[in-house]
Structure 1
Amino acid sequence: MIQTELKPLLTSISDFDLKTYLTTEKELVEKALDESLPLGKPEKIYEAMRYSLLAGGKRLRPILCLATAQLLGEKKIIAMPTACALEMIHTMSLIHDDLPAMDNDDYRRGRLTNHKVYGEDIAILAGDGLLAYAFEYVAENTKNISAERIVKVLAILGKAVGAEGLVGGQVMDLDCEGKSDVTAETLTFIHRRKTGALLEACVSCGAVLAGASSDDLTRLSIYAQNIGLAFQIIDDILDVTATSEELGKTAGKDISAQKATYPKLWGIETSQAKAEELVKDAIEQLVVYGEKALPLQAIAQYIVQRKN
């Protein structure tokens, strides 16, 4: 049940032109990503890195970083190198996740996965290259920001992708394949790291670049943790309900891999309700910022309404 005081806010969010906003921001990100990684030698590895980095997608992660920086009064151009780095890291995770030793998928974003085009060896190296370059790109291209803030951003990125974040979540996810006794607590542990940690890093990095206060960071971290978990719940639902054409990747992979998922644990309706509850709480965290928070709040709402 939507709280009475939240109804006017949700109406305001629904009036926000999110489609235009995301289209405009995505175009800026796509241009920046293309410029961030020119071809070099050896050409094969740069081609493989660019193949996946420039393959499209929603670009939600860099957009979240830019939107957070703007929320707190910083210019987009300041946060763009970090936004690009976040997409490089995300792309690395997709390349590696699709490998036969991981989730073994042939398609991503509607086209052949990196290892299907360049081979497993080059795909692994392309992911490694993007991960390393992400840190280099932030350090060398972030201008007019103190070294202290840049170092903090680099630390956030490292933690999000390491054993306390994405890597740890992936290990737990692999360990739980085929097991029938995975609890909701374990599943949440997995996805707060595998999916949520990088989404939280997007918001936290944008906030740090903008000189966020401790109160800002607390509110925005809660917002990000909630949308990160909601994002994964919806991903699990779509794996069951959407087609491969709609997803741009193979549908039903979770079932065939015997993965622990929220629909398997709770059912589709309860999973959807849980995701919506998380998003409402995320939206409430940002009420204090007024209309400036509408982009982030609308993105949160979009997460539970998306079809791919």
Structure 2
Amino acid sequence: MTQTVLDDVFAEDITIPAADGFPLAATLFLPRGPARHAVLINSATAMPRKIYRGFASYLAEQGSAVLTYDYRGIGGSRTTGAGRAQPLKGFKASMADWANLDITAAVNWMRERYDAMPLRYVGHSFGGQALGLLANNTEVSRALFVAAQVGYWKLMTGWEGYRVYAMLNGVGVPLTHALGYAPGWAGIGEDLPKGVFLQWVKWLMSPRYLFDDASLQGLPNFANYKGDLRALCLTDDPWATRPAVELLCAGYPSITPEILSVTPADVGAQKIGHSGFFRREHRDTLWRGTADWLLEA
């Protein structure tokens, strides 16, 4: 385990078990004083937990116990006992597994250790999409979605959708079948297990994204979530456009999610995009406002 002190925050690298026992690499951020909230940060597709370290530290400074973690096959959850990256060819995983086995277990882990505190959920892109699939999403009292959307390619901005369609179907899928995994150098970020990538592509090609996947047993769980939900729509994000964010939020029939559109100019930035929210430059703007809402009593 690696322990680090970051200003007023204590960070420790740990391992938590997924629902099937698979070891997930994680980092727990704690304030120096007593914690008042528990926050789980859930990653986007092909993004390791280190991307969220700054925001996690910031939330811990505000008095929260915060957990970041890597889904199976990603980042630290891909390494072997010797610390080397495990080959992904033949690695069995899907996006449904990430939700049913990994995120579900992370929610349970936080709930068991911080049962006296309200549990808050931050979902970036896929991390937000997955909340509705969780059998235990009723444990979450408040959720913040950042660039979380129905990822149908035709809902993307301008030519971006056509670029994604061509890249995934013309390059990504053939490469994945040939190599046995999806290589990050093809333009998707981190390497992805074959099953994850192919299920993701299937959703991206479907008008209602994961809602069109009849094999997802967790779809009825969208109706079970009754907590607060705020979805941030970054207006210069070509993937999570306003219609795409609205379509995801419409999947929660028991609540009325709040959708906020934020332009770069609103926070004095030139661009934000799909992942820019988590850059430290937004500490006194985007981070402050969202933390105030997320951590309300």
The bucket for the TM-score relative to the shorter chain is 0.3 to 0.5
Point out the structure with the larger strand share: 2
Compute the TM-score of the two structures, normalised by the length of structure 1.
Answer: 0.32
Higher normalized helix content (fraction of residues): 1
Q: TM-score, normalised by structure 2?
A: 0.33
